[in-house]
A and B are shown apart, each in its own frame.
Chain A
Amino acid sequence: MEYFLELSSSGLVRGSIYALIALGYTMVYGIIQLINFAHGEIYMIGAFVALIVSGVLTIYGFSGVSILILAGLIAVIYAAAYGYTLEKIAYRPLRNAPRLSPLISAIGMSLFLQNYVLLAQTPDFLRFPALIPDFEFMEPIAHIMGSPELVILVTSAVSRVGLTVLIKYTRIGKAMRATQQDMTMARLVGVNVDNVISMTFIIGSVLAAIGGVLVGSYIGQINFYIGFMAGVKAFTAAVLGGIGNIPGAVLGALVLGLTEAYAAGYISSAYEDVFAFGVLVLILILRPSGLLGKAVKQKV
């Protein structure tokens, strides 16, 4: 039983990180039907910025939680700027091009950003300081779930609630929903669609950067390549849950994280990816539009 809890905890932590990244994929897809392959890179850049900022802050004598919050904040702002710029230079000029063009542009941006960080920083792994402190009250169950894991779960959950509130109850949220339903109609009733799309990229990047900072601090190491695998997994999660559907992305991410943890724990960690993608195949066979996705009617 305890073993089951241990695995569940590790699966939920993974799932929570995947969810933060998957939300960005699914929101962008929901609005402009683009799979933003460079999204994993935003997550990686978030982690790098946090590492650099925390290094600087340590020199200036800051400590612990204050570094985490400040570094996280700056990473989020930086990543948001990257997301905004990415959309502006790589996707907006291709808004009316055939759907394959922005997709190729996305892959190009992904490679560009990876190599940019490789050259500007280093090809080696870098040590990421453990910014999340160890809470005393978590000590008795630290072997099941430690403080960093708790912080990840809570932060991820709060971010998701924040996103839900933003989409349901704010003006920009309403505009996003309108754009998702029908871009032309939204434009006709006076929604500034370009702004809405920019905002979607910014929100997605913010969430990804939060994920990057949390993972860096939890795992203790980053390099320029971490965004690729995380991006692929988060994309899988988004598809699993039904791409374009926000609760679906979260559900898909948690299912994926738990599947990986149980597969690694009960079967073999050598095959965790096999099981992760196996579940994806299985669900797409049974429910082609994903767990919570709606079958899209072809407009004739």
Chain B
Amino acid sequence: MRKSVIKKLVMVALLGLIMPATGFAADTIKIGVAGPHTGDLAPYGIPTKEAAEMVAAQVNAAGGVLGMQVEVLPMDDQCKPEIATNAATKLVSEGVDVVIGHVCSGATKAAMGIYKEAKIIAVSPSATNPPLTQSGDYPNFYRTIAPDDDQGKLASDFATDKLGAKRIAILHDKGDYGKGFADFAKQFIEAGGKAEVVLFEGVTPGAMDYSAVVQKVRREKADAVIFGGYHPEASKLVSQMHKKRMKIPFIGPDGVKGNGFLEIAGKDAEGVYATGPMDVSSYAVNQKAKADYISKYGKEPGTFFDQGYAAMQVILNAIEVAGGTEYAALEKALKNSYVDTAVGKIKFDAKGDAEGVGFSVFQVQDGKFVELK
């Protein structure tokens, strides 16, 4: 007797889950927000969730998107791939239209296949692993953060397009960071075909001097140097290049862009280029988002807040432009219309990376790093 009551209750409960999904699908837009909301890595996931909820509340108060209310469905994946697949399956079965997430690259990779089959677009605020977009495996994947190789690409594009370099020497300090950057720069220069990598070489950090390798750069008739590494080696190289009367541009990564470099290299620093994270704090949207957050939560927003905020903005904009949540129309909207977001004015390229986000080139002018627009 009792058993059948429980059975009935379960049936009702299950039906209850199905009912709203079909019943209200027409007049709400469901956005899943997947990421670590519990566990060690929660500080990376919570700010995005909060950003999405904040934007949704504001949009809903103003009448929603296309007359529909926006509903945010948070889903915890703890940054673990095995939990991420469950979270993704759950979101799909709840009928979400778009997903913001996931946060960690590994979890994102695990979940993407499920969204791909369900034809759901996912916009990650933080998964920086380059192959997620570049492999072409996940055409439904977008991100509002620059991928790891973006600095290398920026440096190589800057050298070939802005500086017009044809013969580029790439040096690095043999470390993970420096060589990683140098490898990406080399890869992009070779793929671009506009210039030639005439020298790709590691230097020994802490060696007495780099005059031999500087002479080598000269012999190869390089017209620009891209260096992967940190400021002590960079300043040594720059000052030795000047001592050897070489006046070719020198481009470093964000390990060079800092006061340490300016102090040690002194007047040799003048004119040196370095890539570094773009300064977004002057954007009106970014300032407003931060101010709203502080007035609501009483503290500074956490990691990936800007990117999460931007992800929500681009999604809602795309839905508005596309006139609905149909996959192909959304895709077209994401790739074609610029949106003023918390990380700047962005749209997505063919592979799903945001254009106009990430790193800028800076140059030392009068003893200061100045962002080149």
A interface residues (Cβ-Cβ under 8 A, vs B)? 3, 6-7, 9-11, 13-14, 17, 124-127, 142-143, 146, 148, 215, 218-221, 223, 225-226, 229-230, 233, 260-261, 264-265, 268-270, 272-273
Contact = CB atoms under 8 A, between A and B. Distances in A.
A166 B235 CA distance: 39
A268 B202 contact: yes
A80 B271 CA distance: 41
Contacts of A126: 264
Most buried by B among A13, A17, A272: A272
Interface of B: 174, 201-204, 206-213, 215-216, 218-219, 231-232, 235-236, 239-240, 243-246, 260, 263-266, 268
Contact of A10 (B209, B232, B246): B209
A13 B211 contact: yes
Given A10-B211, A143-B218, A220-B265, 20 more contacts: A11-B212, A124-B260, A125-B260, A142-B243, A146-B244, A220-B264, A221-B236, A223-B232, A225-B206, A229-B207, A229-B208, A233-B208, A260-B212, A261-B212, A264-B212, A264-B216, A269-B201, A269-B213, A269-B216, A273-B207
A6 B239 CA distance: 17
Contacts of B211: 9-10, 13, 261
B264 A125 contact: yes
Contacts of B235: 125, 220-221
A218 B268 CA distance: 13
A3 B217 CA distance: 11
B212 A220 contact: no
Contacts of A3: 215, 219
A46 B266 CA distance: 22
Contacts of B218: 6, 143
B148 to A, nearest CB: 23
Secondary structure dominating the interface of A: helix
A9 B240 CA distance: 14
Contact of B206 (A127, A229, A265): A229
A223 B174 CA distance: 20
Contacts of B210: 269
Contacts of A273: 204, 207
A127 B245 CA distance: 20
A134 to B, nearest CB: 9
A269 B212 contact: yes
A272 B207 contact: yes
28 contacts: A3-B215, A6-B215, A11-B212, A13-B209, A124-B260, A125-B260, A126-B264, A127-B264, A143-B218, A143-B245, A146-B245, A215-B208, A219-B208, A219-B209, A219-B239, A220-B266, A221-B235, A225-B206, A229-B208, A265-B212, A265-B215, A268-B202, A269-B201, A269-B213, A269-B216, A270-B174, A270-B201, A272-B204
A7 B215 contact: yes
Contacts of B203: 269-270
Most buried by B among A7, A17, A226, A270: A270
A218 B243 CA distance: 9
A14 B215 CA distance: 14
A84 to B, nearest CB: 26
Contacts of A124: 260
B207 A127 contact: no
A127 B266 contact: yes
Contacts of A261: 211-212
A227 to B, nearest CB: 11
A215 to B, nearest CB: 7
Contacts of B206: 225-226, 229
